Structure formats: structure tokens, C-alpha cells
Amino acid sequence: MHVDKNDDRSSVSATISGDRLFDRCPLGCRDDLQTSAITLTEGPLLRCTMCGQLLSSCTRGQYELALKKWDTSNGTIPEVQSAARFQQVTERRLRCALRLLGRLSPPPLRLLDVGCSSGALLAVASRLGFSPSGVEIASKAAETAQRAGFEVFCGLLHEARFADESFDVVTAFELIEHLNAPLSLLSECHRILKSEGVFIVNTPNAASWTVGVMRECWDGFNLSSMGGHVSFFSPQSLANLAGQCGFRVERLETRRVRFAESHQVSPVVYRVLKVMGEVLSIPASLLNKGHDMLAFLRKM
């Protein structure tokens, strides 16, 4: 995964506040943060009174410790049993980007995966005919992708110094919820995309039915087990972030509803709740209340 730590404002704020990661909304809102009714191990989640973004009240030290979880040589290579599912889901997303791009650029289209880990998405993109490359800060995972033959820059996105308008598609999956400075990352993605290029991003939906029911019991809020989830978007706050960075939301979809994690209830209760979640998944998708959110943003 890729994390942009190059944010002077956050550093200054953290010093003033006794090292808390967020003192202000990282989406640039001016209003204060208030405590929400959801309390985690690190303290209550903070809510931006302007855009509704939910933010961890963890310290910078807790955040950096949680991020270290990702630097393994396996990175995010899917387990054997979920590899077919990963390929299917990734193909669907990339084919959707191809449809949105139409005939804007001659093939092969250039794709950059930000936070490419060990290169699982790059492999799928390559099979679909893209010319893929990646950026990854975790050195062991980046080396695995490089050994597989992919062009991967090991470091932060802005350090790679890509030329303006280098890519047709930029992807950032399961990334922005880890960032303390998402504005700088999205602005850089905007700069390196070609005009009308597509940025695909996914992140948990904090305005989902899952969060409404499970609240602090939802694993998505767990800082350490999720490797540094600190910033929780809704469809509205994601559109707000996109607009500030020069993107328009071309397509936004949410999927899946869950009422308990498998480790929290008995197997029988879990199966019943799982069926209920499956029944509600279609209305949740129609109303943007699923907990997996995927957005296709177009460079304006």
C-alpha cells in the first residue's frame, strides 16, 4: 500500500495536540471535529461537522505502528481460494474503466496501481492488455512485484515524479482509508492522469447499514487489524474530496451488508445474519447503503 506522509500541516497540528493524528478534517473543511457516538479502543471516532467524514482519534505513533503490518513479501497476493474471486472482481472494474474511456486513447492503455503491493492487480491488468505499472511503499511487497517482471517504483507516489498526463487509468484500492493526507494523493493522481482519464478508488462506506447496525463492532474500524484504517468516507464525503481535486464522480456503487463478524457470534447465528445481509444487499446497493464502496472518477 501507499501512504503519503508528506503533509506539513498534519505534523504541526500533531505537535500542538499532543500527537493526535487528526486535529482538522483532512478533506480541507474549516469546521471543527466533534466526537461521534462510536467509541473505539483509541477513543471516540471524530466527525467533521461539515462533510461528515469519520476519523480515528489515534495518535501518530499508533497509526505508524498499524501501517507496518503491510510490509511482507506476500503483500496482498490473494489466498488460493480467493484468487479466482479477486481476478473476477478486478476484471469487472478494469473493464468498466475501459468502457468509460471508450476510444479516447490508442492501446495499450497505461495503468498505474497506487499501493500495488505484490502486484496482483498488475497481473490482471496485463492480461487485459493494459501496460501496467505500480507504486508501493512497502519494500518487500514491491520486490515481489518487481521479480514478477512489473515496473514498480518503491516509495511514495509523488517521489516517483511521473510526467504530467502519463496514464489513462489510475487505481487505488483499499488505500484512501489509510491516508492522513488524501488531498495531496488525489491531486497527484489528477496531475499524472491524461485528460478525461479514469481514477478508480474503493473504500469502506461509513454511511452504510452495516456501520449503522454494527457501529464499533465492525472490523472495518479496527486500526491494528486493518493495518491503519483511520479515515472513513461516505458517498458524500468521497464526492467532496473528488471535486476538490478536479474529478467528477462518473459512477459510484456500494455493495454488501453485514450484521456481525464471524468471530463475534455463534456459527448458527452468523449464518442467519449472513442470509439477512444477503437479502438486504440489493436494496442496499440501490440506496448506496452497502459497506463496500467503489467509485469511478473522471479527470475534469
Residues that bind Zn ion (CB under 5 A): 25, 27, 29, 48, 50-51, 53
- The residue among 51 and 189 lying less far from Zn ion, judged by its C-beta, is 51
Nearest to 180 by CA among 50, 68, 27: 27
Give one DSSP letter per residue of 118-158, joined into a string.
TSHHHHHHHHTT-EEEEEES-HHHHHHHHHTT-EEEES-GG
Q: How far is the CB of 29 from Zn ion (least distance, A)?
A: 3
Q: How far is the CB of 21 from Zn ion (least distance, A)?
A: 15
Q: Are the beta carbons of 105 and 129 closer than 8 angstroms?
A: no
Q: How far is the CB of 49 from Zn ion (least distance, A)?
A: 8
- The residue among 170 and 238 lying less far from Zn ion, judged by its C-beta, is 238
- The residue among 25 and 207 lying less far from Zn ion, judged by its C-beta, is 25
Q: How far is the CB of 183 from Zn ion (least distance, A)?
A: 11
Q: Are the beta carbons of 192 and 185 closer than 8 angstroms?
A: no
- The residue among 30 and 161 lying less far from Zn ion, judged by its C-beta, is 30
- The residue among 22 and 150 lying less far from Zn ion, judged by its C-beta, is 22
Task: Return all residues near 67 (Cβ < 8 A) that are at least 6 apart.
Answer: 1, 3, 178, 227, 228
Please tell me the distance from the alpha carbon of residue 82 to that of residue 61, in angstroms, as a whole number: 33
Please tell me the distance from the alpha carbon of residue 44 to that of residue 135, in angstroms, as a whole number: 33
Q: How far is the CB of 12 from Zn ion (least distance, A)?
A: 19
